[in-house]
Amino acid sequence: MDSDRSVIITLGKELGSGAFSTVFLGTVTSSGAAVAVKKKARVSLTVKRPPLQHEVRILQTLQGHPAIPQLVGYYHGLHFEYIAMELLGEPIKAKVKDGMGLSQETVARVGVQMVRTESLLAPSSSSLDPGAGGQLSALEHLLAKGVLHRDVKPANILLCPADASKICLVDFGISCLLAVPRPRDPRAYAKETPIVGTLDWCSLSVHEARFPMCPADDLESLAYALLFLISGSLPWRVSMDSQRETLAQAAQRVHASKQALTGDDLVVSHSGCALAETLGRLLEYARRLAPEEKPDLRHWGRELANAASVDVEELKAAPLDWSPRVPPLQLKERLAMVPPPSASAKLDADVQAASASAGAVVCIPDSMSVPDFSRDWFPEGDRDSSITFPPEEAQKCDEKIPPFFVELVRMW
C-alpha cells in the first residue's frame, strides 16, 4: 500500500460487535471526521481471500446510493482487516422494545425505502432504470448492480444521522453477485443447520436448502422484518432466558413456525391492521416467486404506502417517527395463534445423534451468531468460494477502493 496516499485513521471506542467482527469509532487524523471502522477477527497477510476484502468490493460496487454507507477505505494489516465507512446511527431493531411496535406510517416508509423508488408517481414497471421513477430503493439498487444481500434484518438497517428521514442497509459480508455461478450456497449440505444469513429472518427456501438463493429470499426476509416492526415480535422469536436448545432444535422450531404463518393469518378481519394484511400478501408473493424471476418491487412499494395511507411524496423529507406504539391487539393475538413447536420435538435420528455427541446446550438469541458454523462456511482464514468476484471485476473494484492506515490508541 502506498502510504503517501493513505488516509490515517485513529481507532477509538468500540461501538458494537458481532460473532466475527467489531466496529469501532474512528477519527480521520487530517480532518477530525468521525467514521465507523469494522475490524475483522485475526486474518494474516498470507490469507489469499480475506473476508472483508469481499465485503469492501460489494460496498464499492454499490456506492453512490443514499441507502448504502459511504465507503472511506480498506486496510489489511499484519494481523487484521479493516473497512472504514460512513458513521451511521443505531439499528432500527433497537427501536422495538418491550413488545411495543412502531407506527404503521413509519413501518410503511421503511418498507418503501427498501423496495420502492422515492417517486411513487411513475407507473409500475419491471425496469430498474432510476430515470423511470426517481431514486432507486435499496433492494432495487442491489438488483440493478447484480447483488444479493442474503441477510436482510432489522439489525442490518440503520438510522441515518445526517438525514432523519432516511435509513441505510449495511453488512454485506455474505452478499454475493447474482451473475457469478453458484453451484451451491455455503452450508447447503450441513446436516444440522443449513442456514445462510440469520435464523429468525431467513426465508423458507433457506430452511429447506433450496439453493442458490435468489432475490425472493431477500424480499421474504424483509417481510418478516416489517412484520416485526409493526407487531413488536414474531411467533418464533424467543428470549435467551426462556428457552435453551441446540442449534438443530432452534432451526427446526423456527422453520415449523414460519411454515405455519401464512398470508391468511394477516387479513384485516384477523389482524385488524391493513398494513399487516399487505405484509401477508407480500410474504406469499415472495414465497411463490420463481428463482429466476425478479420481484416487482415498485408495485409492493405502492401497496405498502397505500395500506398505511402514507403520502410518500409529502413525507419523504420528514423525520421518521420512532416513538413506540401499542401493536394492534388483533394482530398480536393472531400471531400468538402461530405457536412455535416445542424445542423437544422429535428430531431426525442423525440430528439427535449429532446433538448428543456435541454435549453442550447453547442459547439462541436473535441470530445464528454462535461460533458453531462448519469450517467451509466460516473458515478461520479464507472465505467460502461462493463469496467471490470474477478476477477482472475484482481488480477494477480494488483500483477504486481508497486505502487507509490504522493507528491504535490506548483507551486506558
Closest CA to 100 of 223, 222, 229: 229
Query: In 42-133, which ranges are E strands?
Result: 71-76, 81-86
Closest CA to 382 of 54, 92, 123, 158: 54
Using CB atoms within 10 Å of the CB of residue 22, give its burial: 0 to 12 exposed, 13 to 18 middle, 19+ buried: middle
Nearest to 113 by CA among 266, 285, 273, 317: 317
Q: How many CB atoms are closer than 10 A to CB 1?
A: 12
Q: How far apart are CA 293 and CA 290, in angstroms?
A: 5
Please, are residues 330 and 270 in contact by the beta-carbon 8 Å criterion? yes
Tally the C-alpha atoms within 13 A of residue 323's C-alpha that lie toward its C-beta: 2
DSSP string across 127-172? ---GGGTSS--HHHHHHHTTEE-S---GGGEEE-TT-TT-EEE---
39 is annotated as contributing to ligand binding: yes
Dihedral of the alpha carbons of 319, 325, 330, 334, in degrees to the nearest 10: 80
Q: Residue 215: is the preceding peptide bond cis (ω within 30°)? A: no
CA angle 392/47/29 to nearest 5° reads: 85
Q: How far apart are CA 189 and CA 174, in angstroms?
A: 17
Residues making up the annotated binding site are 39
Residues making up the annotated binding site for ATP are 39
